[in-house]
Amino acid sequence: MNKLIIIAASFLLTTSCKTPEVPKSEPKEATTTIQEIKEKDHTTFVSNQRPKNVIFLIGDGMGLTQITAGSIAKKTPLVLEKFRQIGLVKTYSTKLITDSAAGATAMATGSKTYNGAISMDIHQNKLKTIVEYAEEANWLTGIVTTATVTHATPACFYGHQPTRSRVNQKLAAEFMTKNIEVLMGGGWNYFKKGLDGRDLIAEAQEKGYFVTDDIEQVGDYRPEKMICLISPKLPPRIKERGNYLPLAAKKAIDILSYPKSNFFLMIEGAQIDWGGHQNQSDYIVEEMLDFDRTIQEAFDFAEKDGNTLVLVTADHETGGYSINGGSAKDGKVEGKFTSDYHTATMVPIFAYGPGAESFTGIMENTEIFYKLKYLMNIDSLKPASD
């Protein structure tokens, strides 16, 4: 019966719209399990609406409890409560419990891989990322994070390294080979004291980037390309970094939307995960509320624009977090943790805008890539990386 429905669905898709072709030669690294996922991906598209722009927000370590904690603390509805298309995502990598590198690789490239891989497959071949596809199709692109810009999640959207550790300078150098318009996060030192003694800050300026270390000083100025590196290495907590993330999101949207071409923007709330690792409810709540203000910037733009898909999801849950007490009236959360690492629990995905209904139901994290690639109409581009 299920098979019949799938056949009928693919028939409908082939007759009613341009169906993405199943790749003729499958990548040699694919295992049976991964292969099945890929074929399923191509039969689960339900939307023919294609967005002009995509804003993809990743709350690192943001499980359902983290979201609940944010909503209790805020006392008024989270922006996420305006999203009507909601699904659940299976986050496992080649291990049951993923890390952020394999999690981001799955969403950025459509392939499950080993923990620690920066957009490399299980045989350490490069996997082409959604940002690389987008660039090839002349979309403007941007990456914004509250980690270093060379941290696992943002790096998986532009870089390719067999391991995530001790490759900050290599990733910064890789970034320089791309044509990504906006990059914001921490990691000034990895550019200033770059690979082989290079000064990538100077190189970026030569390539036409406006480079700064302070988002607030940018004000209304709208450069065509911008790199903002707010800290030498890892960015600090809110107390020190202030309103950086919502401001960075707003500026990135401002820069990318101005020329009226298509744009793809990835924004990461990285430190929700760090609160989970430290088993600190207060840290999680603080980061959730910051992320909520950031989602607001994306939502407000999308609502006005009417042609932008906003996706909000997580790479995994962190902490095995639960809420065992507190007060809704006082906005107080009493959290408990079962782990100081990630867990295998599914994470929610929220979608708004054209194509949003494609993200309902239960899906593999790899499906997000295939759905995006289809919705962005870049399915005909070749999967081979440079």
Non-local (6+) Cβ contacts of 189 within 8 A are 232, 233
Q: How far is the CB of 280 from Zn ion (least distance, A)?
A: 14
Stretch that binds Zn ion, among 202-210, 266-274, 304-312, 321-329 (CB under 5 A): 266-274
Q: How far apart are CA 3 and CA 265, in angstroms?
A: 36
Q: Give yes or no for residue 273 binding Zn ion (CB under 5 A).
A: yes
- Residue closer to Zn ion (CB basis): 62 or 256: 62
Q: How far is the CB of 246 from Zn ion (least distance, A)?
A: 22
- Residue closer to Zn ion (CB basis): 99 or 367: 99
- Residue closer to Zn ion (CB basis): 147 or 267: 147
Is residue 25 annotated as a catalytic residue, yes or no?
Answer: no
| R_g (Cα) of the chain, nearest Å | 20
Stretch that binds Zn ion, among 35-43, 46-54, 125-133, 267-275 (CB under 5 A): 267-275
Q: Is 277 annotated as a binding residue?
A: yes
Contact 140, 263 (CB under 8 A): yes
- Residue closer to Zn ion (CB basis): 174 or 273: 273
Q: How far is the CB of 276 from Zn ion (least distance, A)?
A: 7
Q: Give yes or no for residue 174 binding Zn ion (CB under 5 A).
A: no
Number of chain residues interacting with Zn ion (CB under 5 A): 1
Q: Is 213 annotated as a binding residue?
A: no
Stretch that binds Zn ion, among 113-121, 140-148, 205-213, 273-281 (CB under 5 A): 273-281
Q: Is 136 annotated as a binding residue?
A: no
Q: How far is the CB of 25 from Zn ion (least distance, A)?
A: 35
Q: How far apart are CA 250 and CA 248, in angstroms?
A: 5
Residue 289 corresponds to which amino acid? L
Which residues, 61 to 100, sit near Zn ion by CB under 5 A? none
Which residues, 10 to 69, sit near Zn ion by CB under 5 A? none
Q: How far is the CB of 108 from Zn ion (least distance, A)?
A: 17
Residue 212 corresponds to which amino acid? T
Q: How far is the CB of 154 from Zn ion (least distance, A)?
A: 14
Q: Which of 100, 111, 257, 358 is catalytic?
A: 100
Q: Is 60 annotated as a binding residue?
A: yes
Stretch that binds Zn ion, among 4-12, 71-79, 265-273, 363-371 (CB under 5 A): 265-273
Q: Give yes or no for residue 135 binding Zn ion (CB under 5 A).
A: no
**CB crowding 202-218: b at 16 or more within 10 Å, else e:** eebeeeebbbbeebeeb
- Residue closer to Zn ion (CB basis): 68 or 339: 339
User: In the complex, which residue's CB is closest to Zn ion?
Assistant: 273
Instruction: Detail the residues annotated as belonging to a binding site for Zn(2+).
Output: 60, 273, 277, 315-316
Residues at the interface with Zn ion (CB under 5 A): 273
Instruction: Detail the residues annotated as belonging to a binding site.
Output: 60, 151, 153, 268, 273, 277, 315-316
Q: Which residues are catalytic?
A: 100
